[in-house]
Amino acid sequence: MSETTTAPTELPVYMLRDGFDPAPELGALRETERVGRARSPFGIDVWVLTRHDDVRAALADSARFSNAAPVRGVPGMPKMDEATIRRMRAGNPLLVDPPEHTRLRRFLTPEFTVRRMRRLEPRIHEIVDERLDAMQRSGPPADLIAEFALPVPSLVICELLGVPPEDRAGFEHRTGRLLNMSIPVDERMRLQAESRAYMSGLVAREQREPGEAMLGMLVREHGDDLSTDELIGIANILLIAGHETTSNMLGLGTLALLRHPDQLALLRDDPDAVGPAVEELLRWLSIVHTGVVRTTTTEVEIGGTRIPAGELVVFALPAANRDPGATTDPDRLDVTRGEVGHLAFGHGVHHCLGAPLARLEMRVAYPALLRRFPGLAEVPGTAAFRSFHVVYGLTELQVTW
């Protein structure tokens, strides 16, 4: 039992950071070996792709780089029977390839169109303004993560899905620990089961009485096409992905701007600068270290390195997004860069479903925060970068204004 509860003490190279930057050794790997080897936090050896072109090509190639990894023993993971594993994976579009992926994703694409997002925009402004009002009422200092960066996306996804906002503390806590690789795998498995159990309660309620939000829509319009396990899986991944990612962009992005005041001023003062600035923050911060691990379906060759069939491959997104072969002066934060083609949302058929929502939330939240509190400043020494997490970010950031 004792070895099943050990947490990783060393992070793989693709999760190493130095403040806002990928660790120097990750950049060095990209410039020298191009394709690296690392041991994942699960204790499994993986190949690491680092260059922009390699990562982009592999992300687009779901035939040779499969998301439907065969279930294999992970050190420390409790034994589970096939049926349990199948149930836990059901409905997660990130764990299947086309055509199954296409089937699942198409239930959701109508909910994330550009037009839908435009309709949602006024409500996002309201949610952002309510949080800013609350911060203003309590007065400085405030933890920007707990008071703004986390609640804004959480409340938005609650409303979109039809999850009761009063359940926020519970699911935020679960997700935060579930994605924390320093927490032993058996506890994280337990949290995953808890999170599914919570969602199965919500899905059962919607099945009795479908509401107006996305869960109700899925039950009403696709109740015959989706199994209950799939509904639970879809809702669960939307809830987790919907708050944990954008919240870290809001927190870490704000700190990045506070430490680059000239860039902050551009974003705050010019509405036309906001869109490109959000893209640049996505590129420069690349908070998702790798996305979902892929399995090679055949032998592949990348820059002279042969990777046999059946091997695990991860894509080092921060390295790819700072590749001098793809972006000029890539380590400089330049909100006027105006280049597109970053891989922060991935690429290929698994490109982030919620990207339009994330973009909208950031385009509303950053300028609203910076205009409400023109004197916003970090309390020195309080920014706590978190390393052991699937999504990079801050656990705390005290600010004054």
Partner 1 sequence: MSDAETATVRVIADRDVCIGAGMCVYADDTVFDQDDDGLVVLLVEEPPDGEGVRRAVQTCPSGALRLAGR
- In the complex with partner 1, which residue's Cβ is closer, 87 or 101? 101
- In the complex with partner 1, which residue's Cβ is closer, 37 or 106? 106
Tell me how far, at minimum, the Cβ of 353 lies from partner 1, in Å.
8
Tell me how far, at minimum, the Cβ of 255 lies from partner 1, in Å.
26
Tell me how far, at minimum, the Cβ of 345 lies from partner 1, in Å.
8
Contacts of 195 by beta carbon, 8 Å cutoff, 6+ apart: 171, 174, 175, 178, 236, 240
Rg (CA), the chain: 21
Backbone angles phi, psi at 312, to 5 degrees: -90, 140
- In the complex with partner 1, which residue's Cβ is closer, 109 or 387? 109
Tell me how far, at minimum, the Cβ of 319 lies from partner 1, in Å.
20
- In the complex with partner 1, which residue's Cβ is closer, 67 or 154? 67
Tell me how far, at minimum, the Cβ of 109 lies from partner 1, in Å.
3
Tell me how far, at minimum, the Cβ of 326 lies from partner 1, in Å.
12
Rule CB under 8 A: which residues touch partner 1? Answer: 60, 102, 105-106, 109-115, 340-341, 345-349, 351, 353, 355-356
- In the complex with partner 1, which residue's Cβ is closer, 95 or 376? 95
Tell me how far, at minimum, the Cβ of 346 lies from partner 1, in Å.
7
Q: Hey, how many other C-beta atoms are within 10 angstroms of the C-beta on 42? A: 18
CA–CA separation, 393 and 380 (whole Å): 17
Q: Hey, how many other C-beta atoms are within 10 angstroms of the C-beta on 137? A: 7
- In the complex with partner 1, which residue's Cβ is closer, 359 or 389? 359
Backbone angles phi, psi at 19, to 5 degrees: 65, -120
Cα 365–chain centre separation: 17
Give the 3-state secondary structure of residue 280.
helix
Question: For the chain, what's the residue count?
Answer: 401
- In the complex with partner 1, which residue's Cβ is closer, 12 or 356? 356
- In the complex with partner 1, which residue's Cβ is closer, 102 or 136? 102
Q: How many DSSP H helices and E strands does the chain contain? A: 15, 14
Looking at residue 23, what DSSP letter applies? P
Tokens 């551009």 locate to 266
Tell me how far, at minimum, the Cβ of 283 lies from partner 1, in Å.
13
Closest CA to 252 of 210, 287, 212, 303: 287
Q: Is 375 left (phi over 0), alpha (psi -120 to 50) or beta?
A: alpha
Backbone angles phi, psi at 316, to 5 degrees: -80, 90
CA–CA separation, 362 and 341 (whole Å): 18
User: Angle 151-161/214-222 helices, nearest 10 degrees?
Assistant: 30
Tell me how far, at minimum, the Cβ of 15 lies from partner 1, in Å.
24
- In the complex with partner 1, which residue's Cβ is closer, 6 or 102? 102
CA–CA separation, 308 and 290 (whole Å): 20
